[in-house]
Chain A
């Protein structure tokens, strides 16, 4: 059904280069080289986003693809979806393929919901006739019947996503390639989507499913493929592969150190995750508070300064940006010397997953002395709990203190005795 053989993808990285040049530069550069005294050609280096990846997927199989950010998952998906060709290797796909790298591709804000269903369906490879046949079903699934004749620019983001997913959910290809599109909408809708995905999977279709959500992978996929650094690390039964992924993930030390640079008036020298006692920690156990500790030196007296910590999720979304002067008024002058700043992260706040820490030090609104967008990463552990229970994509940790027990005498009897009352009867 899907036969992937020795796939590799190379990207050229031009040092200090923008992603696209200008014609002016290209002409100037070409002319200079022609005359024979062009400046040094920009150095180029190769980067293999994928290398020598092979695996097979049998008909009707649902296979999960997992790996950290940058492991090559998206590149593999793009190649499988024919968005970009491989540099080497071969893939054979037998059957009609549909790929879902995002929901709502091709939506146009000026078009109505109805028009966009047809637009989006066509982009995803559905025949017009097919869309017409499933139209009512799609609309019912999306729950936006009332706004079908409204341009989608007036939709709320929830409605937009519902409609978009509804179209995608009614694709009936023989092979379906899905990126993390389930992380959209509210919890109820996500459950509905997961349910639909499960239906698709049981319907005998071949599915390749990429996700960070180990719970979803475990539920939907029989087999999984783990990518690491562009290569295939292992494949096999889902539970084994996800277990390996989760244990590998925690192996990395969440700390970083930087070379001293005397040119900087203030500089971060090292930083890392610490536990509640200030001892360097290997990972973040959700159930206890942790800290992010920043060691910095100040080389010249500064009239004011602050340290900034930016916490982003593995998916790249900013979770929080916090400043060391957040809870103090006025200026914070410092004398030259070494300092330590620690930001406390309470327990039960972050959702289990990967986090990226960005750091900077500077004078508020004046200048930044040292900035590291991607200083280090850490993992918030708690996946064992997450797998067991339902909703995913929550923005804040899921564990709140609960107390359950029998109700005190006399307080709930009335409710038990009269189970249902319409509002009109009361008072």
Chain B
């Protein structure tokens, strides 16, 4: 074996707080890639269908939202064509919801793995994020195309704003996902709670309306949803219309970090019992 010195492993009862062991995660990077690649490869196996699925979901949903809220309601969309406005919000929201949902199911759906082999358990929720991110990439390209067709050219800031927004949303979703994935092992009705959350979240995020619809004095509260900031900033970068989003929306950056850290704490605290309970 190329591993130089002989590794010593000590197995003992778990004690106290265990932070995420980044060195161990690095050792397991190949397995992480393998998990991520597996999900992507299964998803996009039939290339056409996989890609179509990633793109059609937001397109069809945007179409439905346009029919319902665009034609019946009178919600402003900041001078952006309604369908495109919805699509830009939806793609980010669907990514957020997908990240959350996949992470939450990652343990329960792969119990056969971690009850048979040791690896850092957190690899499962981590690698489950590959598919929603890949889906987003594809949907984003379509969004850019549609926006360009309608005469919107993204500003230069998009080059870093969009990746940062994805990171922002990912950290938030992963934090919540960690909580749910661990809880899901113990309480199987989490599986029923999640769709409920993602459905409500759609309306608690600026997908079908701009943030300006919300009274300004509530923005600090509204902005705590870690999907709100990214949606607004991506929209700003892609369509380049209207003022820059308010700074108060950055409130969800610390929120996302707290969710992530507490999620990691909870996950690490519970992980040693997963194999016994599941």
Interfacial residues, chain A to chain B (CB-CB below 8 A) = 11, 19-24, 26, 78-97, 99, 101-102, 105-106, 108, 110-111, 115, 118-119, 122-125, 127-128, 172, 174
* Assembly CA distance A368 to B243 (angstroms): 74
Known contacts A94-B6, A96-B7, A122-B34; is-contact A85 B117 (Cβ 8 Å): no
Closest chain A residue to B2 by CB distance? A127
Pair A88/B190 contact, Cβ less than 8 Å: no
In the assembled complex, which residues on chain A have CB atoms less than 8 Å from the CB atom of B275?
Answer: 78, 83-84
Closest chain B residue to A173 by CB distance? B1
Pair B13/A101 contact, Cβ less than 8 Å: no
Query: Which of B37-45, B149-157, B163-171 contacts its partner?
Result: B37-45
* Assembly CA distance A101 to B117 (angstroms): 8
In the assembled complex, which residues on chain B have CB atoms less than 8 Å from the CB atom of A26?
Answer: 187
Give the residue of B30, B42, B188, B193 whose beta carbon is less than 8 angstroms from that of A127: B30
Smallest beta-carbon distance A97→chain B, Å: 6
Closest chain A residue to B14 by CB distance? A85
* Assembly CA distance A124 to B190 (angstroms): 30
Known contacts A85-B11, A92-B10; is-contact A11 B276 (Cβ 8 Å): yes
Smallest beta-carbon distance B274→chain A, Å: 9
Closest chain B residue to A124 by CB distance? B117
Known contacts A96-B3, A101-B116, A111-B38; is-contact A122 B30 (Cβ 8 Å): yes
Pair B187/A23 contact, Cβ less than 8 Å: yes
In the assembled complex, which residues on chain B have CB atoms less than 8 Å from the CB atom of A19?
Answer: 277
Pair B272/A85 contact, Cβ less than 8 Å: yes
Pair B12/A86 contact, Cβ less than 8 Å: yes
* Assembly CA distance A23 to B191 (angstroms): 10
Closest chain B residue to A105 by CB distance? B116
Q: How large is the interface on B (under 10, 10 to 19, 20 to 34, 35 or more residues)?
A: 35 or more
In the assembled complex, which residues on chain A have CB atoms less than 8 Å from the CB atom of B186?
Answer: 20-21
In the assembled complex, which residues on chain A have CB atoms less than 8 Å from the CB atom of B11?
Answer: 79-80, 82, 85-86, 90-93
Pair A22/B187 contact, Cβ less than 8 Å: yes
B67 interfacial contact with A, CB 8 Å: no
B185 interfacial contact with A, CB 8 Å: yes
Pair B190/A115 contact, Cβ less than 8 Å: no
8 sampled A-B residue pairs with Cβ under 8 A: A78-B275, A87-B13, A92-B8, A94-B9, A101-B117, A111-B38, A122-B30, A127-B30
In the assembled complex, which residues on chain A have CB atoms less than 8 Å from the CB atom of B118?
Answer: 81-83, 99
Known contacts A79-B11, A82-B11; is-contact A174 B116 (Cβ 8 Å): no
Query: Which of B93-101, B107-115, B227-235 contacts its partner?
Result: B107-115
In the assembled complex, which residues on chain A have CB atoms less than 8 Å from the CB atom of B272?
Answer: 84-85
B253 interfacial contact with A, CB 8 Å: no
Give the residue of B45, B189, B276 whose beta carbon is less than 8 angstroms from that of A84: B276
Pair A20/B117 contact, Cβ less than 8 Å: no
Smallest beta-carbon distance A105→chain B, Å: 5
Smallest beta-carbon distance A391→chain B, Å: 26
Pair A22/B189 contact, Cβ less than 8 Å: yes
Smallest beta-carbon distance A93→chain B, Å: 4
Give the residue of B10, B117, B119, B193 whose beta carbon is less than 8 angstroms from that of A91: B10
Give the residue of B3, B6, B12, B113 whose beta carbon is less than 8 angstroms from that of A123: B113
Find the residue from A89, A119, A172 having the highest chain B CB count within 10 A: A119
Pair B1/A123 contact, Cβ less than 8 Å: no
B183 interfacial contact with A, CB 8 Å: yes
* Assembly CA distance A91 to B13 (angstroms): 10
In the assembled complex, which residues on chain B have CB atoms less than 8 Å from the CB atom of A93?
Answer: 8-11
